[in-house]
Amino acid sequence: GSKDGSIQEVNVSPCPTQPCQLHKGTSYSINVTFASKIESQGSKARVYGEMLHVDIPFPIPEPDGCKSGIQCPIQKGHSYSYLNKLPVKSEYPSIKLIVKWELVDDQDQMLFCWKIPVQITS
């Protein structure tokens, strides 16, 4: 689904095996290296928990990609390292789901989109 960019590497830490064991009350580091195919003034992240083919918005503290390691404006043909945190709230249910992370450009097109299976545990 990464239309306006191409992912070079995705790193979720700590996550030694999949599905990632996400412990409640803990924050996880996200690092995505991608190359942009377009120019864009800004970028915005949208994160979802995918359960039974339904996307449930997953709030993150900083949705602005330009405040998450990306030097804006985004230039065509350049590579960027996107850095963010995935906080796992203690009130989340203990379930298996898919985390879907999108970064969109000014035109609401995907710079990148990736998914990872997770298990939320206490």
pLDDT band at 2; cut points 50, 70, 90 = confident
Sheet with 79-88, strands from edge to edge, namely 5-13, 26-36, 79-88
Q: How far apart are CA 27 and CA 38, in angstroms?
A: 31
pTM here is 0.92
Q: Say how far apart CA 82 and CA 55 lie, in whole Å.
A: 22
By CB atoms closer than 10 A (0-12, 13-18, 19+), residue 119 is: middle
Using pLDDT thresholds of 50, 70 and 90, give the confidence band for residue 114.
very high
Q: Please tell me whether residue 69 adopts helix, strand or coil conformation.
A: coil
- Residue carrying structure tokens 């700590």: 14
Q: 79 in a domain, yes or no?
A: yes
Q: What span, in angstroms and rounded, lies between the C-alpha atoms of 50 and 113?
A: 13
Which tokens go with 21? 């064991």
Q: Looking at the predicted structure, is the pLDDT value of residue 45 above 80?
A: yes
Give the 3-state secondary structure of residue 112.
strand
CATH of the domain at 77: 2.60.40.770
Name the pLDDT band for 52 (thresholds 50, 70, 90): confident
pLDDT at 57 > cutoff 90: yes
Domain count, the chain: 1
Residue 122 domain-assigned (yes or no): no
> How much is the mean pLDDT over the chain?
94
Whether residue 121 is contained in a domain is answered as no
Does any domain span residue 77?
yes
Query: Is residue 26 in a domain?
Result: yes
Tell me the residue range of the domain where 92 lies: 3-116
User: Residue 74: pLDDT band by 50, 70, 90 thresholds?
Assistant: very high
Tell me how far apart the alpha carbons of residues 45 and 100 are, in angstroms, rounded to a whole number.
Answer: 10
